[in-house]
Amino acid sequence: MISNLPPSGFRDFLPRECRARAKAAKALSEAAVAAGFQAIETPAAEDLAVLTGKGSGENEKLIFKILKRGEKLKQASVESLADSGLRFDLTVPLSRYYARHQGSLPHPFKAFHMGPVWRAERAQKGRYREFLQCDFDVLGSEDLGSELDVVSTIVSALRDLGLAEGLSVSLNDRRVLSGDLKEAGVPPELEGKTLILLDKKDKMAEGDFTRELDGLLGETKAKALSGALARDGSTAAPEPLARLRELRESLSRLCPWAEFKIDRGLVRGFDYYTGPVFEIRHPRAAGSIAGGGRYDGLIEAFGGRPTPAFGGSIGFERVMLLLEELKGSEPAEDGARVCVTIFSPELRREAFAAAARLRTQGLKVDVCPLAGRLKSQFKYADATGARWALVIGPDEAAAGRFKLKDLRSGEEALETWEGLNARIESAAAREGTHA
């Protein structure tokens, strides 16, 4: 027997989960549009040259590669079996996209980009092989306003989802961090490995991290680095640190419900970051729920003009886990408000005509996909979240009336078109829901 489980790291979603995800995605999209970000889309697959070029870093090992097809596959060697792959984030595809289309886009350009990405990593709670990302980016501006715009929009969007309480935002600058490494005497050939280790610090026990850092740099340089990261100032990068402090103060005033702090050890794992980076955490979530940074220079790698860029990404899956934990099994918004039953095969046409008429009036209307016992159809309507069931029997059809059943109270009443709309709208107004 073939297993009915999805592959490891991939998931099925039930209708209630899909409604909750769609509701959250809509809220994020509305927050982006309200702040002037314009939606774009890129394909799920990119050429391997795009995915493995500048900026892939550790994620190059996690790419789901796509085999060549037809004759090209037959002629390929073992080393060149694949020519494309599934995107592992949205920043690299955005950079390729902007390099191609920048002549026809506003300058600067504020992009909103949402879609699934794939990473062949070990699956665990909150980390999947297929997951949704939601990105906010400003391309073409070096101004501090880019960082301020992106971070404040993301923090505000998380507040709109009900996650304001306890939000904390860590800020750093790659130039400040590079200065700290140099001041501590970290050799250039060990900078990359040191950054990777610093990026993993939050996932390690303190003793394990100290031992690995000592083993990598030696005890003297490891202590010097820890001291540099704990200091308030920086002799190697004073200007980037001053700008970082200005960003923190501005964000604190714009978004007073969140805590903003400078974390000199914050890395963010991608090689393409060149300046300020940030990470957003919630006390009830394991790991960060959003993050990003400045990636000047990435767009030129794809043939575009030199373009400064800053962006941030919301980890949609972790946000959904957090919302489910905080709100429990609270039902998402209902689907259809009205379910039209089919009294008999002979009256099927009247049922669909009634549904079509109600839909033109702005109501969400389902038609039961089976004709038969009304009890079974009422059960279907209730299971799909409908509030009302509409019955058109022979007598009702002849009189131009409809029997409306309230699936919550069990009450039934004969109604005209006008009475039907009035009753539904009145109930929706009382309950504070949309008809």
Q: What is the pLDDT of residue 400?
A: 82
Give me the half-sphere count of Cα atoms (radius 13 Å) on the Cβ side of residue 141.
Answer: 19
Phi, psi (5° rounding) for residue 136? -120, 125
Tally of residues, the chain: 435
How distant, in Å, are the alpha carbons of 206, 236, 277 from that of 172?
A: 21, 14, 5
| Closest to 318 measured CA to CA, from 169, 127, 154, 176 | 127
Q: What is the pLDDT of residue 332?
A: 47
Q: In what order do the strands lie in the sheet with 82-86?
A: 45-47, 82-86, 65-67
- Return the structure tokens found at 278: 């940030």
Q: Name the pTM for this structure.
A: 0.84
Residue 114 neighbours by CB under 8 Å, 6+ apart: 25, 28, 29, 39, 132, 133, 134, 135, 316
81-134 tens-digit pLDDT: 888 999 999 999 999 999 999 999 999 999 999 999 999 988 777 679 999 999
Beta-bridge mates of residue 112: 39, 136
- Bridge-based pairing state of the strands 109-118 and 38-40: parallel
How distant, in Å, are the alpha carbons of 41, 111, 191, 211, 240 from that of 217?
A: 43, 41, 10, 10, 26
**Which DSSP helix (H) or strand (E) runs through 153?**
helix 144-160
Please report where in the chains the tokens 């809220």 appear, as a residue: 27
**Helical spans, DSSP H, in 161-266:** 174-183, 188-199, 206-217, 219-230, 238-254
* Cα–Cα distance measured from residue 369 to residue 118, given in angstroms and rounded to the nearest whole number: 36
Q: Which domains does the chain have, with CATH numbers?
A: 15-327 (3.30.930.10), 338-431 (3.40.50.800)
- C-alpha radius of gyration, the chain, whole number: 28
| Closest to 87 measured CA to CA, from 41, 43, 31 | 43
* Residue 150 C-alpha from the chain's centroid: 14
| Closest to 338 measured CA to CA, from 406, 430, 422, 395 | 406
Per-residue pLDDT tens listing for the chain (435 residues): 999 999 999 999 999 899 999 999 999 999 999 999 999 999 999 999 999 876 555 667 789 999 888 888 777 775 678 889 999 999 999 999 999 999 999 999 999 999 999 999 887 776 799 999 999 999 999 999 999 999 999 999 999 999 999 999 999 999 998 888 888 888 888 887 888 888 878 777 778 888 888 888 888 888 888 887 887 777 778 899 999 999 999 999 999 999 999 998 888 876 788 999 999 999 999 889 999 999 998 999 898 889 999 999 999 999 999 999 887 655 545 567 899 999 999 899 999 998 998 888 888 899 999 887 899 999 999 988 898 899 999 988 888 888 999 898 888 888 887 777 777 777 666 665 554
